[in-house]
Chain A
Amino acid sequence: MISEVYLLSSLPSLSFGNKPPITLEEFEHTAKMELPEKDIAVLDEVSIRLDECGAGSVLSTKVCSILRELQEDISMIRRSKNENQDPKTNLLPASVLVENPLNSEIIAMKWLWEQIEEIESGRTFTMHEVVAYKLKLQILQRLYSFNKEKGKAILDSLLEASERSIAQ
């Protein structure tokens, strides 16, 4: 408990849509200095990416379960679109279906953020809050990676490379 208090007190607060105030590496480095090994193992297992999420603890299992639900919703939308059917959502807000791809990703991340807030709700200065901090930081990092100039450069370079191969 004390180590969680020390750690969480030393971390900057996170808010959805803002630039991540620290990097994930900085967070993990600080966490390693404050938390015992068993808590670090729990922390290592959680991620907002389902393929990186382990189920070795009650907490990480809970996170995995949320991610799986999100994944099922996304898969259902994808299937419906592929089969030219009207897509529906179970968990995500319906606006995810009509918004442009960037806004849809932001809506999905916002939904995930809210689920994470439920995990930490009423559990101040616990591992739940530490785990939630890591997951929220991952969300912010992902959202921060959505950069217009960089995205355009990636798309342009891909098309230019393909255009060159077409010309040969």
Chain B
Amino acid sequence: MSTMKVKYTKTERARQKKILKVSERMLPLFEAMEKSLMATILRVTDRIDLLKQKIEDNNTRTEPWVAVFADSWVDIREFLRVKEIVTHPISVAGVRVEEYERVNFEESPIPEEAPLWVNDGVELIREQLQLLAEIKCLRDQILLLEEELLDVRARVKLFEKRRIPNAKMAIRKIGQKLQDDERLTIATAKVVKTRG
């Protein structure tokens, strides 16, 4: 700030006043964006926690019968594979992100002779994979939102710590200089008049 070069002119003062006006108008907008992004990240994080809890609940619910996955008759891996995760773009807090829609699976039909538990097993795997896929999409959203948050925070800092104080200081300095100049002119004029 100390090295800031200021032209001590009325035009420069007007320019600095304009910068101050714009900056003071922009700062609350960026602050609001920052708050909105932080709230959105928190909301997405909460959703991830909720989905993780669902996965945990499913694990707890499955625990009494998880032993069947070791059935020597069945390889459960044969029945279900993730083909693709379908998402669509949306705008969250002004950031373009991909929202989870569904998982498309590659499914092999369960043969008639397969044990009954295979249906329950496939359903459990399907649900867990859908939850994991949604978590993945939400984590990607958080990455983008955090990137934007960093950018907005840098702008808030720029306005708070540099633009506004610099403009205020420049206006004050220019004002003082112009006042000093004016006083000097008046004093000089008075001296000239007295001598005359």
Contact = CB atoms under 8 A, between A and B. Distances in A.
Interface string A144-168: 0111101110110011001101110
Interface stretch (A31-39, A102-110, A117-125): A102-110
A19 interface: no
A162 B132 contact: yes
B70 A104 contact: no
A103 B69 contact: no
B117 A105 contact: yes
A162 B81 contact: yes
B79 to A, nearest CB: 10
Interface size class of A (residues with CB under 8 A): 35 or more
B136 to A, nearest CB: 5
Contacts of B117: 101-102, 104-105
Interface size class of B (residues with CB under 8 A): 20 to 34
Interface stretch (B21-29, B121-129, B174-182): B121-129
Interface in A80-101: 81-82, 96, 100-101
Contacts, number: 99
A166 B113 contact: no
Contacts of A167: 136
B105 to A, nearest CB: 10
Contact of A154 (B69, B119, B133): B69
Contact of A145 (B65, B71, B110, B112): B71
Contacts of A51: 113
B133 A166 contact: yes
A142 B68 CA distance: 10
A51 B72 CA distance: 15
